[in-house]
Amino acid sequence: MNALQFIETSIAEGIGYIFLNRPKQLNALNRKMVREIVSTMEEFDRDPQVKVILLSGNGKAFSAGADIDEMVNDDPISMELTNQFADWDRISLVKKPVIGAVKSFVFGGGFELALSCDFLIAASDTQFSFPEVTLGVMPGAGGTQRLTKLVGKTKALEWILTAERIKAKTALQYGFINKIVAPELLMEESIDFARKIAMQPRWQ
Ligand code: DAK
């Protein structure tokens, strides 16, 4: 594995862990971090030791979205050409189940990343939002389609065009998360959930 700068990874009891690791920036996603997340997921997908992948964030928040400092000199054309979020499509090719354990801010690219997971377990303080519209752009990593598929066009369009902060309870009501847990139990409950999946018999 190449040296990882912006995420922490480990493997234990069939679970491959990925922790976003820019806590001071609320795990804002820079381009290198995105590449690290995707390549680690692909490595875990190939690794027979790993049965299930658990993705979370160090510090207070899951992720406050794309790194605004990195985007500040971008214009719409260069953003389109860089297309950093195209990498998210590679996550959907990962065959092993991916569980997202999310908390506090799950914004923008962080929300897109969460929606790329197969399961979401959310701390009760979680807020999901697409603030892109307040910056004059649209979610660019498939989140518009993933959210629409999960909750239908009516609510998805409303949330995307208003940047509303969606509380965990509302997310559960609309069925795009699996469960809500107390913040202090997020990892414990997520690991329990991951173990249930990891222990099932399977090929390989
Ligand atoms: N990027 C960089 N730094 C961030 C950040 C971000 N997204 N979010 C927070 N931080 C940093 C803050 O600057 C602050 O740093 P220091 O001042 O301490 O050095 C630190 O994290 C703590 O943040 P706050 O002091 O603001 O913490 P609060 O609890 O008061 O507020 C907040 C938390 C999440 C409400 C607030 O930080 C916030 O509003 N953050 C920005 C959220 C946001 O707008 N995220 C970006 C969404 S847009 C596309 C390409 C890209 C995109 C779309 C399309 N195409 C190619 C089509 C865009 C995607 C997005 O994700």
Q: What is the pLDDT of residues 148-171, one digit of tens each?
A: 999 999 999 999 999 999 999 999
Taking 50 as the threshold, does the pLDDT of residue 96 lie above it? yes
- CATH superfamily entry for domain 7-203: 2-enoyl-CoA Hydratase; Chain A, domain 1 (3.90.226.10)
Single-letter amino acid, residue 138: M
Taking 90 as the threshold, does the pLDDT of residue 204 lie above it? no
* 66 catalytic per annotation: yes
- How far is it, in rounded angstroms, from Cα 97 to Cα 198? 9
Query: 203 falls in which pLDDT band (50, 70, 90)?
Result: low
Query: 83 falls in which pLDDT band (50, 70, 90)?
Result: confident
Distance set, CA 50 to CA 13, 138, 173 (Å): 8, 34, 31
Q: Best substitution site from 24, 25, 70 to test ligand 1's pocket, by max atoms within 8 Å of Cβ?
A: 25
Instruction: Give residue 46 CA to ligand 1 midpoint distance, Å.
Output: 33
Taking 60 as the threshold, does the pLDDT of residue 134 lie above it? yes
Asked if 142 and 112 touch (Cβ cutoff 8 Å), the reply is yes
The one catalytic residue among 66, 114, 168, 198: 66
Asked if 70 and 30 touch (Cβ cutoff 8 Å), the reply is yes
Nearest CA residue ID for atom 34, ligand 1: 64
Taking 70 as the threshold, does the pLDDT of residue 1 lie above it? no
The one catalytic residue among 28, 100, 110, 112: 112
Write down the pLDDT at residue 191: 98
> Residue 139, Cβ neighbours under 10 Å: how many?
23
- How far is it, in rounded angstroms, from Cα 185 to Cα 150? 26
Write down the pLDDT at residue 65: 97
Q: Which of 28, 96, 17, 24 is nearest to 60 (CA)?
A: 24
The one catalytic residue among 57, 65, 109, 142: 109
Q: Best substitution site from 20, 24, 68, 127 to test ligand 1's pocket, by max atoms within 8 Å of Cβ?
A: 68
- How far is it, in rounded angstroms, from Cα 95 to Cα 153? 27
Taking 70 as the threshold, does the pLDDT of residue 28 lie above it? yes
- How far is it, in rounded angstroms, from Cα 22 to Cα 95? 27
Measured from the CB, is residue 23 less than 6 Å from ligand 1? Answer: no
Measured from the CB, is residue 69 less than 6 Å from ligand 1? Answer: yes
Query: 84 falls in which pLDDT band (50, 70, 90)?
Result: low
Residues 6+ positions from 192 with CB-CB distance below 8 Å:
none
Q: What is the pLDDT of residues 103-129, one digit of tens each?
A: 999 999 999 999 999 999 999 999 999
**DSSP alpha helices (H): ranges in 120-181?**
143-151, 153-162, 168-173
Write down the pLDDT at residue 85: 63
